[in-house]
Structure 1
Amino acid sequence: MASGLCDSCARLFREFADLLRRVWGELEHKIKDVFREIGRCTCCRITPERRKAHDLPSLHLMHDNETQLLNQETLQALNRLAASEDSHLQMTAAVYYLHLSHHLKSPLPDAFMEPLMALLLSADLDVQKTVSLSLVNLLVKNNVCKELVIEMGMLVPILELFQSGDPTAQCHSCACVAMLASSESNRDALMVDGIIPLLALAKSYDPKVQQNATWALLHLTQSDWSTRILCQAGGVPVLVLLLQSSDSEVQFYSCSALCNIAATEEHHQKLLSVGGQYLSKSLLTLMSSSVLKNSAQACRCLQILSNHVLIQEQLTEFDCVLPLKALLKTSTPEWIESGLALLSTLSAHPPNNDILVGEGLLEEIGELLHHPRSTSAIITHCCKIVTDLCSSCMGEQVVMESLCLSGLLRALLSPSQSDELLLHVTSCLNHLMTCDALKSKLSATVTPEHISGLVKLSGQIRNPQLSYSCAAIISKLEMTEKTAQLLKPHYITMSKYLLVFLKKKDVKFQQLGIATIFNLKKDGDFSSLVANSELEVELWKVHTQTEETRQLLQMIQPLSPCSVNPELSQNKW
């Protein structure tokens, strides 16, 4: 086939091809000479150790097949590389462990821990950093036994990394210690040499080092003994200072650690003596955090400490209500519960109640009682707070105007409530009915469903206290025409549980039965039902027994207080 080129162009292409062949031949000859000379140099010869480095299946880094990652050949290569004095070879093994820590799903065989230990003892800091990160990953995924790490002596080189001055090495070693401290059996070993360096690193300027050190300190507060040692070593001021950290995780870890410390009363004096009011101020500041888990944790810590009058006074002085109300408005039940727990403790202290009512907290409680996702813990706290705050000067009126009463009645009808929760709800309603205005409002508010529920619970026998609480509410209802109409369908059922009450030896139940009968007899239909019934017979028995007891008591000369209690006589003199 013709090329289509003229003679001149064809000649030029042939000359160019000949030139290219000559140049390439010369270049090839020079390349061979260079590599021949390089090959004669000892630095490029493959030693047995380097051959083992090549033997380490580098292709395994392309996949995560555990059978290939953990075979005997690999173990032998890792042992040789880790024992080498060549830092490059050690790094090869360290990188292999790092890859392994990311892909391993089953426990690491104990035999593979020996090279790991040797690499931690390396003189090369980069090798130590790489292998310590591998160990963190393996500990986090529970691929290695924490107790075995301690038994093999790995804690010593890990703690030595604290002194390295390298933030990355310190960060990895702190994370290792934190994971090891999560095992109770390891804490004793960690406390001996680790506590002081950890406290020092918790004050590091590097946020990751500070974060991991505080994380480790948190784990050390999970047993009484290690908590005591931590406090003796000066851990409390450090943790309180960390509440002001700019890192939200450090704030959370330090606050959680302080919660654990505060759970034991013997440490309260140390906590309260830190810089006067510094602790309560710091916790209140954290309560206002935009990070809600930190706010809730600070609230929990204050709640534990707020049994102390000093803390209560500081909380009201520094206006704790605003962050409390913010917590109550969140959508996370656990955080709402933290806020309510603190509020419940504060409301149990009568001097606080007027302040709490004045700040509108009863209105918040009413809304929570109406919230469809309120938990049993939330409703229980609400009942206690309403009971406490209702005793204040303004409390009764605010309960009347708020959603608290209707919220309690709503909780009464919930089909999923436990007996324990129903007892809290009915006890609160019973307490509210000691106020005439609230009794009138409740009597006018109850529905047939409420009455049916109260009557049913009054007659159950599995929980006497719940039975008593429900019957007490019925006994206090104002017998208006509307109330009588609501109760009429239940008169026979009520007569049965009232008969049981009168037969009980517990005077409290007998008195409640009598009070209920007295109230119900205001309706002629109930009086007709009781007439000549077993209930009336039992009522006369109680009357007779009471009269006999009264007459017997009159036969005994009344005893003076001093003869009943001789200590009164001694004190008098």
Structure 2
Amino acid sequence: MMDSAQLKMNKVEKVAESFCAMEKFEIKIERPKPSPLDELIELLRKLLRCCLNFLTCGCYNGNESSRRSSIFNGDTEFSSMLLDNERQAVQNLLLYLEDEETKTPVLDEHHTRALGILTYSDNMELQKSAALCYSEISGKMKVPISNALATPLVALLRSPHCVVQKLSSLAISNFVLNGPAINRVTLVEAGALKDLIPLLYSDNVEVQCNASGCITTLATTDAAKRLVSMENGIPALLLLVQSADIRVQRNAAGAILNLTHIEENRSDLVVDGAIPILIAALQSTFDHDVQYYCCAALSNLAIIEKHRIMMVAVGYNDVIILMIRLLASKFERIKCQACFVLRNLASDVEHQSLIVQYKALPALHRCLKHSRKETRSAAIACLRNLSIHKSNEGAILCSEILKDLFDVLCDGAVPEAQRHAAGTIRNLAVGEHVKELTDLGCLDRLGTVLLDIETSHAVLTEVTAALAVMTDEDQVKHRLMVMNEGKVFVKLVTMVTLSTNQEVQYNSAGILGQLAMIDIPSPLKSNNLKGILLFVDKFLKSSDSSFVHIGLWTLLQLLKDEFFLQAFRDHAIDQVVKKLTVQVFPASILELATKVLHRLSGSPDSSASSSD
């Protein structure tokens, strides 16, 4: 018989695998709108007028008001003469930008070279012109950015001037959000992430906003996310999560969330103090984007046991209270992430009773009744972990949750929720509540799901595990045997022989072994004999010792019936069992094999009669 203690312990459900799984999150980037094209064109024109004025000793007529404002009124920005290649680059870009036919920018090698000349110029106004040009074309260019175009743009990030930093980081954001996906790879390879991280420490809010937004959009691969941590970007981002500017806070929290998707970064984040900062951000903001990012980040961090302990310790259980409060949020994605945080925290025994004490059950029940399918699945996953703790069993059974839990169990449209609902029932059944569950109609619901041909293997695994626990009670054995006119019995035989899922096979075998302990109606015996013979033969020849064990145990129960005793003798099952006795198996298997052989031969076996 299966070990009931093993059935009690539920595997910790993890997030994301992800991202995981692991789940993917939608990040909204806060960034200012691009500068007007007119500003760029006017700046380039000023540069050319200044250059011509210098070369002609003031004889160039041009626009008199502009000339006076830039020279005679003391504005000396453009007073130094441009180099020939710089002047040609300005003229080249100006002609390009003034072309009204340029709807979708495609830069040829001359334009790319011109941008490079302006970028690497010692003239700060030329650098600004390059940054302006990049910000203008980045919002329109749909073709992939070349390395020749990306390298100067990344170089502009290193400018000491705030305007250039702001415009170049904006351009990177535009290229990533508006252009092809390959732009992310090109810009990361050009060193954009490494040069964006110092900008997080800028005194300018716009630069902070752009830089953190760029990091969020660029750090989409595991390598890029790891690079941010290795380049010491985590402390700066955590600092910005505490920013007074909500746009900066959103982008920084979104970047932190992205970084939590890989295991190595989670430890780095916790070491750098992410947990108390994220919890504090949740306590101090009503912004639903920040709430979502922080909840999702905490959920990912809570995958690791030591992080969960630290999380609950911060503020004396503040995180539990916060998450229960957020279960009432009007935003589905926040409720869902709050459920995930509580689910992960409930992976530890010491937190399971604590979460219930803080009145999580009514909040989870509301999520179960009034939320979308993703949130319902997350709520039931949390409930499943809470049901592991014996002290929580009574609270769950006394609540109104069970009725809705049974409804979810039968809802094939949400298989993930079905799976967790069956897992919750299994946990409760391991306790002393099988009769209560049966009286409430649980057995009938499990039978209905079992017979549904659309039920997935993942759900059947949990349903059969729950039934295997419940059939330990004689009352359940008798009801299950005749349920749906014997169709449940037939389905169990079919699954144990034909299912491609080993857990479903194993659990079904355990149930059949329990049912074999009572009288099986003659029609069920004769109609399912071939399937039963095949199942036992298959299990005894398995390379998995646990399958051999359950096969022998079930066979021992079946051999109590003269009908099956004769059938297995005719099938020469004794030859299969004898081979087991000369193989290397645990003592428990060898003992069962010996008992089976005694029963097949008709020899008296006192030890068997006392332990069957």
Q: Shared fold (TM-score greater than 0.5)?
A: yes
Q: Which one is further off, 208-217 or 171-180?
A: 171-180
Amino acid at match of 2:174: N
Amino acid at match of 1:286: L
2:551 to 497, 509, 530: 509
Alignment partner of 1:286 is 2:319: no
Distance 1:250 1:113 in 2: 31
Tell me what 1:240 maps to.
279
Tell me what 1:355 maps to.
395
Tell me what 2:135 maps to.
98
1:86–1:484 CA distance, 2 compared to 1 (3 A): same
Tell me what 1:227 maps to.
266
Alignment partner of 1:397 is 2:453: no
The residue matched to 2:315 in structure 1 has which SS? Answer: coil
1:472 to 495, 505, 513: 513
1:153-172 equivalent positions in 2, closer than 5 A: 155-156=194-195, 158-172=196-210
Tell me what 2:467 maps to.
429
The residue matched to 2:215 in structure 1 has which SS? Answer: helix
Distance 2:243 2:203 in 1: 11
Amino acid at match of 1:425: V
The residue matched to 1:415 in structure 2 has which SS? Answer: coil
1:120-269 equivalent positions in 2, closer than 5 A: 120-122=157-159, 124-140=161-177, 141-144=180-183, 149=188, 152=191, 155-156=194-195, 158-186=196-224, 187-188=226-227, 190-244=229-283, 245-269=285-309
Tell me what 2:30 maps to.
none
**Once the two structures are superposed, what CA deviation does each residue of 1:396-428 show, in whole Å capped at 9, x if it has no partner?**
2243223x3232112212324455643432332
CA-atom RMSD, angstroms?
4.1
Alignment partner of 1:38 is 2:64: yes
Distance 1:517 1:130 in 2: 82
Higher relative contact order (CA 8 A, sep 6+): 2
Distance 1:498 1:218 in 2: 49
Tell me what 2:317 maps to.
277
Distance 2:422 2:259 in 1: 37
Alignment partner of 1:346 is 2:372: no
1:493 to 530, 539, 556: 530
Deviation at 1:343, TM superposition (A): 1.4
Amino acid at match of 2:506: Q
Instruction: Tell me if the contact between 1:300 and 1:342 (Cα under 8 Å) persists in the aligned partners.
Output: yes
Amino acid at match of 1:346: L
Tell me what 1:24 maps to.
none
Distance 1:174 1:250 in 2: 14
Amino acid at match of 1:38: E
Instruction: Tell me if the contact between 1:439 and 1:478 (Cα under 8 Å) persists in the aligned partners.
Output: no
1:163–1:401 CA distance, 2 compared to 1 (3 A): closer
1:307 to 347, 353, 356: 347
Deviation at 1:346, TM superposition (A): 1.2
Deviation at 1:246, TM superposition (A): 1.4
The residue matched to 2:412 in structure 1 has which SS? Answer: coil
Amino acid at match of 2:435: E
1:335–1:123 CA distance, 2 compared to 1 (3 A): same
Instruction: Tell me if the contact between 1:474 and 1:516 (Cα under 8 Å) persists in the aligned partners.
Output: no
Deviation at 1:459, TM superposition (A): 4.2
2:484 to 446, 465, 470: 446
Tell me what 1:368 maps to.
408
Tell me what 2:111 maps to.
74
Distance 1:406 1:71 in 2: 71
Deviation at 1:435, TM superposition (A): 2.8
Distance 2:568 2:210 in 1: 85
Deviation at 1:62, TM superposition (A): 5.1
Tell me what 2:336 maps to.
296
Amino acid at match of 2:64: I
Deviation at 1:97, TM superposition (A): 1.6
Deviation at 1:162, TM superposition (A): 3.1
Deviation at 1:207, TM superposition (A): 1.1
Please list every run of 5 or more consecutive structure 2 residues that lacks an aligned counterpart in the other structure.
1-59, 72-77, 575-594
Deviation at 1:373, TM superposition (A): 0.6
Distance 1:471 1:242 in 2: 54
Distance 1:70 1:60 in 2: 13
2:154 to 105, 108, 117: 117
Tell me what 1:324 maps to.
364
Deviation at 1:139, TM superposition (A): 3.6
Amino acid at match of 1:170: Q
Tell me what 2:47 maps to.
none
Instruction: Tell me if the contact between 1:501 and 1:510 (Cα under 8 Å) persists in the aligned partners.
Output: no
Deviation at 1:191, TM superposition (A): 4.4
Deviation at 1:96, TM superposition (A): 2.6
Distance 1:532 1:465 in 2: 20
Deviation at 1:500, TM superposition (A): 3.8
Instruction: Tell me if the contact between 1:362 and 1:399 (Cα under 8 Å) persists in the aligned partners.
Output: no
Deviation at 1:322, TM superposition (A): 1.9
Deviation at 1:237, TM superposition (A): 0.7
Instruction: Tell me if the contact between 2:243 and 2:249 (Cα under 8 Å) persists in the aligned partners.
Output: yes
Deviation at 1:222, TM superposition (A): 3.5
Deviation at 1:212, TM superposition (A): 0.8
Amino acid at match of 1:372: G
1:456 to 478, 494, 504: 494
Distance 1:250 1:289 in 2: 13
The share of aligned pairs that are identical, in percent, is: 24
Tell me what 1:410 maps to.
448
Distance 1:154 1:381 in 2: 40
1:548–1:501 CA distance, 2 compared to 1 (3 A): farther
Distance 2:132 2:150 in 1: 15
Distance 2:596 2:478 in 1: 31
Instruction: Tell me if the contact between 2:426 and 2:462 (Cα under 8 Å) persists in the aligned partners.
Output: no
Amino acid at match of 2:400: G
Tell me what 1:543 maps to.
599
Deviation at 1:259, TM superposition (A): 2.4
Distance 1:361 1:333 in 2: 16
Distance 2:361 2:66 in 1: 82
**Once the two structures are superposed, what CA deviation does each residue of 1:501-525 show, in whole Å capped at 9, x if it has no partner?**
8977946434423434546x6xxxx
1:295–1:445 CA distance, 2 compared to 1 (3 A): same
Amino acid at match of 1:361: I
**Once the two structures are superposed, what CA deviation does each residue of 1:425-447 show, in whole Å capped at 9, x if it has no partner?**
23322322333443444345323
1:379-390 equivalent positions in 2, closer than 5 A: 379-390=418-429
Distance 1:214 1:401 in 2: 45
Deviation at 1:238, TM superposition (A): 0.3
Distance 1:532 1:91 in 2: 89
Amino acid at match of 1:207: I
Instruction: Tell me if the contact between 1:191 and 1:229 (Cα under 8 Å) persists in the aligned partners.
Output: no
Instruction: Tell me if the contact between 2:493 and 2:528 (Cα under 8 Å) persists in the aligned partners.
Output: no
Distance 1:419 1:369 in 2: 14
1:50–1:239 CA distance, 2 compared to 1 (3 A): same
Deviation at 1:350, TM superposition (A): 1.1
Q: Which one is further off, 100-109 or 270-279?
A: 100-109
Distance 2:124 2:136 in 1: 18
The residue matched to 1:428 in structure 2 has which SS? Answer: helix
Instruction: Tell me if the contact between 1:423 and 1:465 (Cα under 8 Å) persists in the aligned partners.
Output: no
More helix by share: 1
